[in-house]
Amino acid sequence: MNGIRKIALVTQVPCREDVIDFLNKLEVDLIVGLGDVECPQYIKKYKGILGEMEDITTQKYLRKNGLLIQEGVLDLFISFSYRKVITHFPPRNPRGSQKVLAEILSNIPEIVFHGHLIEQKVYDIGKTKVVSVGSLEKGYYVVYDGREYELKRSSH
Q: Model confidence over 1-55: pLDDT tens digits?
A: 457 899 999 999 999 999 999 999 999 999 999 999 999 999 999 999 999 889 9
The strand pair at 128-132 and 121-125 is best described as antiparallel
- Whether residue 135 is predicted with pLDDT greater than 50 in this model: the reply is yes
- Which helix (H) or strand (E) element contains residue 43? none
What does the mean pLDDT of the chain come to? 93
- Whether residue 149 is predicted with pLDDT greater than 70 in this model: the reply is yes
The residue extents of the domains of the chain are 7-153
Q: What is the per-residue pLDDT for 2?
A: 59
Was domain 7-153 assigned CATH 3.30.200.20? no
Q: What is the per-residue pLDDT for 1?
A: 46
The closest of 154, 156, 155, 149 to 9, measured between CA atoms, is 149
The strand pair at 128-132 and 111-114 is best described as parallel
The C-alpha atoms of residue 127 and residue 141 are separated, in whole angstroms, by 23
> Above pLDDT 70, what percent of the chain?
96
* Whether 50 contacts 36, CB under 8 Å: no
CA atoms within 13 A on the CB side of 137: 16
Edge-to-edge strand order for the sheet containing 128-132? 72-73, 76-77, 84-87, 111-114, 128-132, 121-125
The closest of 33, 26, 27, 29 to 9, measured between CA atoms, is 33
Q: What is the per-residue pLDDT for 93?
A: 65
The C-alpha atoms of residue 98 and residue 106 are separated, in whole angstroms, by 12
DSSP 8-state secondary structure symbol assigned to residue 95:
T
Q: What is the per-residue pLDDT for 41?
A: 96
